[in-house]
Chains A and B, each alone.
Chain A
Amino acid sequence: MSVGVESVLQKIESNPRFMNNVTFRHTIPAEPGVYEPIPDFLPVKLQELLRRKGIEALYSHQAAALHEVRDGKDIVVVTPTASGKTLCYNLPVITTLLANEEARALYLFPTKALAQDQVAELMVWSDELGGKIKTYTYDGDTPGDARIAIRSAGSIVVTNPDMLHSGILPHHTKWMRLFENLKYVVIDELHIYRGVFGSHVANVLRRLERICKFYGASPQFICTSATIANPQEHGEALLGRSVTVIDKNGAPRGQKDIMFYNPPVVNKPLGIRRSSLLEAEAVAHELIAAKIPTIVFTRSRLNTEVLVTYLRKSFQKLGEPHETIRAYRGGYLPKQRREIERDLRAGKVLGVVSTNALELGIDIGTLQAAVLTGYPGTIASTWQQLGRAGRTDQPSLAVLVANSSPLNQFIIQNPSYFIDKGAEYARINPNNLYILVSHLKCAAFELPFAVGENFGEVDPAEILDYLADQMILRKVEDRWYWMSENYPAVDVSLRSASTENFAIIDTTDGKTRVIGEIDRFSAPMLVHEGAIYIHESAQYHIDKLDWDRQKAYAREVDVDYYTDANLDVELKVLDVFEHEELPQVKRNWGEVMVVAKTHMYKKIKFYTHENIGWGNISLPEQELHTTAYWFSVPKEKVENLDRGALQSALVGASHLLGNIASLELMCEPSDLGVTAQIRSPFTGDPTVYIYEKYPGGVGFSEQLFEAHGRLLWRALSIIKKCPCPSGCPSCVGPVEEVGVEGKTHTSWFLKGVLEHGSNQQTEEILTPTE
């Protein structure tokens, strides 16, 4: 089989049309495994089982995990995909459970699919070990009668943070057996818990710790993570305790070739490149035709379906059976996944097209090539997807096919960012006031707070007093008690930015189906009445927006225009937390009040960008109290730009920085808002603000403040490397918005800001190609 990849590589290399679009090639050499003997302290039964499964020795990181856990440490294991991470927690847990039937473990997975996968595997282990270890999933689908059995008899309870938050902790007395005997908490995919979600989960863990303490348990934490830049810091922030990081991968790996593929530009003025989907299909076709088991990642379900259809059609012409290409979705049950896996091994399936369901630790083995349709958004995800192909000792190939977005274009043009930097930082802010207060309420519901009791590192007395003033809590003697009829966990969703989200409801053909959610702040922009809302490449007309009930009613349509609402953003600085003043720039971060109002929208025709109509929007003004990072340039420094040129520079810089910032922060571009003021009432100078769309902020602003120089250099390098003549969506934004000299103005403006600025970052970002 290995010959396959090499011969395909040769074929690809000799194809100039293909190679012209390859902007970067990188070979990661093969590495042998580092092994350690199976430790003697594992129960004999377990050692025998490992040997029966063909495991004669452990990888060094698995052995290290075992030893650290045995020493009582809380650990975070950071190794690549398919390096046998599950053994790092299953071995210590099973060892303890075999010795003590009463012992319990709690496993947290970010998704139901992962949880089910894990339970399927653990059940097989349990059977082979005599069936004493009872593993159950506990989630929204668990039937009522099964729940009772799980509470008392489940040795390993596998659930997700949401269920722990709303189903388990508020009913902790029913889970007394679990909490009294809890020895381990296993958290898989730690890097997923970042940003708003992570900040919530950190507080759920504070609550878990509080309940464990009540029942006299002090469980050890065993976590695994994809590669992130700060596993130690992130693990400690999330768990609120010190952790030992194990990051020396002992698993062997075969040689891996990575190629970055940039589809050719087909419309130069608009900067539009050939569809990444079609290019990815062509690459995948080549690989599958050479009988190389290949996985193609897409960014949406719809694209998955489209690609499967395309690939099946082209292979049907070659006389291949329909089943050669399979779709693979998050919703699949373990049984269906096993089936695909089996068919892959048997060679019946050669191509698997998937959304990011597979990226999260689900293993289907035997793949030799991976094709990524578009940059997955973070370096960590990219490595996880690239890592899906290529097992221990075979060479493999991974191709990243970029699309036209600024993020993709930055990555594809700055491969060193990807290769050298390694991974992003995962950040959380568990002390975001909104999030913290929400969870303090939940915690007070679970058990009264005593004076002097801490919540994680926080002394919550002042907040609890405030809640008592609001008559949500009641303070008697030295305790705060829950004094409300409500069940607070219901009002707190861990995943969405706020509970104030609007539901978008598809009413086409009389059905009612929720197709998406949108935060309150973005709703007036995107789902006002008359808006064309795009969901999975389909267009929907918003017929009605019910502001009070937070519902937008949509109907699928096929029109040749899109809508663009004008958002007037007023931003007032309330408090500056940190600032730095240089002659050419002042940078700050702090607390701001954003007031946004949409008055009207335009209908814009596709391709020609003609304005073909407009409509009024009358919706209430929106206030968002949050944190922001901003920088201003002394007006003397930009005197030689006229007002129009300055406006164009600010618009261009905003467009670029918003995108670059999300890259830096490992967040969605929609988590951030960008606005610029030619003459800020606060600074008196031209100012660009990047604010967080989650009330109170989750720490992004501080991070951007620190990354200031790096951000600006990256922005500049995108402008330099973008082949468009005067601005396109991949760099400063479309010409219609920035004007024909948008690129020049923006780059002049940014250079001015960077002059004499942070020099060390210059080298970091501006690669030798500059």
Chain B
Amino acid sequence: MDLTSKLRRFLPPQNNSDTDSRQTACDLDSLLHGQEVDTPFGPCYVIEETWPLAKRHGHWTLREVIETEYRSLDLYGHPCDNFDLHRALFLDTETTGLAGGTGTYAFLVGLGFFTPSHFVVKQLLMRDYNEELALLYLLDQEIQTKDTIISFNGKTFDLPLLQTRFTISRLGLAGTREKRHVDLLHMARRLWKQKLQSCSLTSLETHILGVKRVGDIPGYEIPGRYFEFLQTRDGTLLQDIVIHNVIDIVSMSTLLYRLQTTAELPPEECDCSYEAEAIAHLSFHSRKPRLALKYLEAAAQLSSDDEQYLRISRNAAAILKRLGQYERALPIWKRILEIAPDDLSTAEELAKYYEHRTKDLTSAEQITRRALAVAWQSRSPKTSALEHRLRRLERKTHARTAP
């Protein structure tokens, strides 16, 4: 038995694909409106689309995006000194798989950047595996003209994948290695993780950016669609992917804009309790506790959700305590216990306050007893600490009342 028939027997075909028959001659130019570009490593395909700055994408125009100063992004934990959007490159890849590893290829790399008059989306497409080197060569040229890469989830996905491709290509190209990288997903999570169930780009488009996609191809279908294109050369298979990638890039630009403007929104202008709460949290971590308090106040006023209200109040009280403003923390603690009598941590705070600050042992004891009753009932791990506190309070009271 020869090897091939043996293979057929041992490892029978798994996918009965009928695509072989459809060998459509492909005229990509008329479908994708791009052109072949030659490089020292052979050709690859480049699609360039220019968007006038007046064009609106969701809630904002591209002019608004480019005419903003991006000076507050460090609120989200990304140091952004000297950030200049003119020297930044939006980047998003479409790949042959999501598993990662050395066998996953980026077959389409979308890039976005501003010129004085336009927003340009440039897409590099390898029409087959042998065009990868040319794609990487062109990609590197684009990257080297800029100093910052902006991506959505690029930290874990796109950039390592491209670095792997650059390493395997052995062209000696630096790729994104020495560039500053801004990952919008990480920023978006910091701002909206309480507000949104998912911080995927599609979810952000729907809830934050006002972008509605029609007939968008789901991400998981993309590798299969590309493989089918390789077999059939049918360019229509790529149209949806190219459009999907363009929207990803443009949405990134308005997302960046929204992140910047929100970071500078004064507390009194906030209209979303979750955003105000998130900014408070971020301000606190930027060592601006007083500003954080202002945002928390705004958030508390906007909040219509008890659980969030309690969380905001606890945080506010904790900050006030740290600032030594006990007289402002006191009514908040009291308010919390009115709404949530079983909040043992707050009860503890209050008991501490009475015991150590105002030396009001009676109130301290009363609160501790009430808390202990709750703790016993709920078998809380705080029980022993509360018992300990109560014993001490009783001792102190006794010492005070004893002659």
Binding site for B on A (CB under 8 A): 170-174, 176, 433-434, 437, 444-448, 462-463, 465-466, 469-471, 474, 476-477, 479, 481-488, 574-575, 591, 625, 695-696
Partner of B129, one of A174, A462, A481, A625: A481
B177 to chain A, nearest CB (A): 12
Inter-chain pairs besides A463-B3, A463-B7, 12 sampled, C-beta below 8 Å: A173-B102, A437-B10, A462-B4, A462-B7, A466-B8, A471-B17, A479-B129, A479-B130, A484-B97, A485-B99, A487-B99, A488-B103
Q: Mark B150-193, 1 if CB is under 8 A from A, else 0.
A: 00000000000001100110000000000000000000000000
B26 to chain A, nearest CB (A): 15
Q: Does the CB pair B103–A476 fall under 8 Å?
A: no
Q: Does the CB pair B7–A466 fall under 8 Å?
A: yes
Q: Does the CB pair B168–A447 fall under 8 Å?
A: yes
| Complex alpha-carbon distance, A342 and B232, angstroms | 70
Given contact pairs A171-B101, A484-B97, A466 touches B4 in the complex (Cβ within 8 A): yes
Which chain A residues border B101 with CB–CB below 8 Å? 170-171, 445, 487
**B95 nearest in chain A by CB position:** A485
Which chain A residues border B103 with CB–CB below 8 Å? 170, 444-446, 482, 487-488
Which chain A residues border B167 with CB–CB below 8 Å? 173, 176
Binds A, one of B223-231, B275-283, B295-303: B223-231
B127 to chain A, nearest CB (A): 10
> Which residues between 1 and 47 of chain B lie within 8 Å of chain A, taking CB atoms?
1, 3-4, 6-11, 13-15, 17
Partner of B231, one of A447, A471, A479: A471
**B96 nearest in chain A by CB position:** A485
Q: Does the CB pair B1–A574 fall under 8 Å?
A: yes
Q: Does the CB pair A486–B97 fall under 8 Å?
A: yes
Which chain B residues border A444 with CB–CB below 8 Å? 103
Q: Does the CB pair B4–A486 fall under 8 Å?
A: no
Q: Mark B118-134, 1 if CB is under 8 A from A, else 0.
A: 00000000001110000
**B97 nearest in chain A by CB position:** A485
B281 to chain A, nearest CB (A): 25
A474 to chain B, nearest CB (A): 6
B135 to chain A, nearest CB (A): 14
| Complex alpha-carbon distance, A486 and B164, angstroms | 17
Given contact pairs A170-B101, A471-B15, A433 touches B7 in the complex (Cβ within 8 A): yes
Q: Does the CB pair A477–B130 fall under 8 Å?
A: yes
| Complex alpha-carbon distance, A445 and B230, angstroms | 17
Which chain B residues border A471 with CB–CB below 8 Å? 15, 17, 227, 231
Given contact pairs A172-B102, A481-B129, A437 touches B1 in the complex (Cβ within 8 A): no
> Which residues between 46 and 67 of chain B lie within 8 Å of chain A, taking CB atoms?
none
Judge if B98 is at the interface, Cβ distance under 8 Å: yes
Given contact pairs A448-B129, A471-B231, A482-B103, A696 touches B10 in the complex (Cβ within 8 A): yes
**B101 nearest in chain A by CB position:** A170
Which chain A residues border B100 with CB–CB below 8 Å? 171, 487
Which chain A residues border B97 with CB–CB below 8 Å? 484-487
| Complex alpha-carbon distance, A486 and B101, angstroms | 10
Q: Does the CB pair B15–A470 fall under 8 Å?
A: yes
Q: Does the CB pair B129–A433 fall under 8 Å?
A: no
Q: Does the CB pair B4–A476 fall under 8 Å?
A: no
Point out which of A444, A477, A485, A591 has the most chain B C-beta atoms below 10 A from its C-beta.
A485
**A445 nearest in chain B by CB position:** B103
Which chain B residues border A437 with CB–CB below 8 Å? 7, 10-11
Which chain B residues border A474 with CB–CB below 8 Å? 128-129, 227, 230
Point out which of A479, A484, A696 has the most chain B C-beta atoms below 10 A from its C-beta.
A484
The 6 closest A-B pairs by CB, nearest first: A445-B103, A485-B97, A482-B103, A487-B99, A481-B129, A173-B167
In the complex, 18 of the A-B residue pairs with CB atoms within 8 angstroms, ordered by the A residue number, are: A170-B101, A433-B6, A433-B10, A433-B11, A434-B11, A445-B101, A446-B103, A463-B7, A466-B7, A481-B129, A482-B103, A483-B129, A483-B227, A485-B96, A485-B99, A485-B224, A486-B99, A487-B97
Q: Mark B212-253, 1 if CB is under 8 A from A, else 0.
A: 000000000001100100110000000000000000000000
Q: Does the CB pair B9–A625 fall under 8 Å?
A: yes
**B227 nearest in chain A by CB position:** A483
| Complex alpha-carbon distance, A474 and B226, angstroms | 12
B303 to chain A, nearest CB (A): 36
A332 to chain B, nearest CB (A): 33
B75 to chain A, nearest CB (A): 26
Q: Does the CB pair B10–A170 fall under 8 Å?
A: no
Partner of B10, one of A446, A447, A625: A625
**B99 nearest in chain A by CB position:** A487
Given contact pairs A470-B13, A485-B97, A487-B103, A462 touches B231 in the complex (Cβ within 8 A): no
B159 to chain A, nearest CB (A): 13
Point out which of B14, B17, B101, B103 has the most chain A C-beta atoms below 10 A from its C-beta.
B103
| Complex alpha-carbon distance, A463 and B97, angstroms | 23
Which chain A residues border B4 with CB–CB below 8 Å? 462, 465-466
**B129 nearest in chain A by CB position:** A481
B222 to chain A, nearest CB (A): 9
**A480 nearest in chain B by CB position:** B129
Q: Does the CB pair A446–B6 fall under 8 Å?
A: no
**B9 nearest in chain A by CB position:** A625
| Complex alpha-carbon distance, A695 and B12, angstroms | 13
| Complex alpha-carbon distance, A486 and B100, angstroms | 9
Which chain A residues border B231 with CB–CB below 8 Å? 471
**B224 nearest in chain A by CB position:** A485
**B223 nearest in chain A by CB position:** A485
Partner of B3, one of A462, A481, A482, A487: A462
| Complex alpha-carbon distance, A603 and B96, angstroms | 54
**A211 nearest in chain B by CB position:** B102
B307 to chain A, nearest CB (A): 32
Q: Mark B84-117, 1 if CB is under 8 A from A, else 0.
A: 0000000000001111111101000000000000
| Complex alpha-carbon distance, A625 and B10, angstroms | 7
Q: Does the CB pair B17–A173 fall under 8 Å?
A: no
| Complex alpha-carbon distance, A145 and B27, angstroms | 48
| Complex alpha-carbon distance, A482 and B103, angstroms | 6
**B127 nearest in chain A by CB position:** A476
| Complex alpha-carbon distance, A483 and B14, angstroms | 14
| Complex alpha-carbon distance, A575 and B2, angstroms | 11
**B128 nearest in chain A by CB position:** A476
Given contact pairs A172-B102, A466-B4, A483 touches B163 in the complex (Cβ within 8 A): no
B43 to chain A, nearest CB (A): 13
| Complex alpha-carbon distance, A625 and B11, angstroms | 10
Which chain A residues border B10 with CB–CB below 8 Å? 433-434, 437, 625, 695-696
A78 to chain B, nearest CB (A): 35
| Complex alpha-carbon distance, A469 and B14, angstroms | 11
Point out which of B3, B11, B13 has the most chain A C-beta atoms below 10 A from its C-beta.
B11
A258 to chain B, nearest CB (A): 46
Which chain A residues border B223 with CB–CB below 8 Å? 485
A486 to chain B, nearest CB (A): 7
Which chain A residues border B6 with CB–CB below 8 Å? 433
Partner of B102, one of A447, A483, A696: A447
A185 to chain B, nearest CB (A): 20
**A176 nearest in chain B by CB position:** B167
| Complex alpha-carbon distance, A217 and B129, angstroms | 26
| Complex alpha-carbon distance, A575 and B1, angstroms | 8
| Complex alpha-carbon distance, A605 and B295, angstroms | 78
Which chain B residues border A434 with CB–CB below 8 Å? 10-11
Q: Mark B255-297, 1 if CB is under 8 A from A, else 0.
A: 0000000000000000000000000000000000000000000
**B167 nearest in chain A by CB position:** A173
